[in-house]
Amino acid sequence: MERISIIDLVEQIPTEADAYAFMERLRWPDKPICPHCGSEAEHRFLAPENGSSRRTRTGTLSQRRVWKCRDCKRQFSVITNTPFHGSKVPVRTWLFVLFEMCANKNGIAAREIARKYRLTNKTAWFVAHRVRLAMENLPIAEPMRGTIVADETFIGGDPLRMNRKTRRRWEGRDEDPVPVAPGAARPNQHTAKTPVLALIDTNTGEARSKVITDVAGPTLRKAIANQVVMSGSTLMTDEGPQYNQIGREFLSHGAVNHHAGEYVRGSVTTNQAENFFSQLKRSLDGTHHHISKTHLPRYLAEFDFRYSTRGLTDTQRMQRLMGQTANRRLSYKRVVGSY
């Protein structure tokens, strides 16, 4: 599949059955693999094309493409055991949202999804978060090794510094249409800026950003050690003294002195991180406005995914996304916390 636009997509998936088939090509480029047991046998295609289309509870003909595993005999479809599993949202809509979140540099706001695809705000919000879950780098992801740029920044506005009008609008808005737990002091989630650490592999272009509690040396060390094989890598940072100790655990450590106006010295630069953060902030400010601390990690996952795959076409990016969706079901509870 080559490059497509949203208009091509609309033309390519006129029906729900087409959407299933399209998603199958993304998730299983070769042939269907059973999501229950992993079998790659020639699975039997059940519906809707072999005359056995089942009627749904409401009596309409189901367009869901269903397979039956040769080995475990269980039925499955392309969304089985993915974050889209068990959703009432049509697969067609999932594909459109998926496409937009993969293709738009700044992502797409839940409100816009709601408006465009005729969903409630609450459903749209949940849909976007399910896609973010699919984009997440799981803890089992390979550790990074090579030349790693590390930098930290603070995300989030300080409501005390907003003008009155902006603050009133913001406080009265349901930017998270899902209510927070009773008793949780909602505005407090927004009052402090949240530190975020970004690690960028300069060879592969992969970025991983994580919310951290503070920017002290030990915290940074722990966050970096979790992601990077330090003894086999080179670290690049700005001149922040908190990186000196960590730097000794790396093969080598290069630091540029921003205060002295230095951004590149030889091969030492943290420009990638600067670009990463400025794009991230533009995206958060422009598209999503105020994101609570609780949900920030998911937005970071979305952003990391797009950044790390920026060399791919939109279709390739969707393929990558669908390829990593297995066993990522997302319950409502997991998204909204223990509410």
Q: Which residues of the shown chain bind Zn ion in the complex (CB under 5 A)? A: 34, 36-37, 39, 69, 71-72
Cβ distance to Zn ion smaller for residue 12 or 75: 75
Q: Which two tokens stand for residue 92?
A: 């067609």
Least separation in angstroms between CB 33 and Zn ion? 9
Least separation in angstroms between CB 36 and Zn ion? 4
Cβ distance to Zn ion smaller for residue 35 or 247: 35
CA dist 284 and 293 (Å) reads 13
Least separation in angstroms between CB 310 and Zn ion? 36
Least separation in angstroms between CB 72 and Zn ion? 3
Cβ distance to Zn ion smaller for residue 23 or 69: 69
**Beta-strand runs (E) in the chain:** 44-47, 66-68, 75-76, 147-155, 194-201, 207-211, 234-238, 252-256, 264-265, 268-269
Cβ distance to Zn ion smaller for residue 76 or 303: 76
DSSP annotation of 196: E
* All residues at 6 or more sequence positions from 53 whose CB lies less than 8 Å from its CB, including other chains: 47, 61, 62
Least separation in angstroms between CB 17 and Zn ion? 22
Least separation in angstroms between CB 67 and Zn ion? 9
* All residues at 6 or more sequence positions from 14 whose CB lies less than 8 Å from its CB, including other chains: none
Residue type, 96: F
DSSP line for 236-250: EEES-GGGHHHHTTS
CA dist 81 and 326 (Å) reads 6
Q: Which two tokens stand for residue 135?
A: 């984009």
Cβ distance to Zn ion smaller for residue 21 or 72: 72
Cβ distance to Zn ion smaller for residue 34 or 330: 34
CA dist 284 and 196 (Å) reads 13
Cβ distance to Zn ion smaller for residue 34 or 230: 34
Least separation in angstroms between CB 94 and Zn ion? 23
Torsion angle of alpha carbons 214, 218, 223, 224, nearest 10°?
130
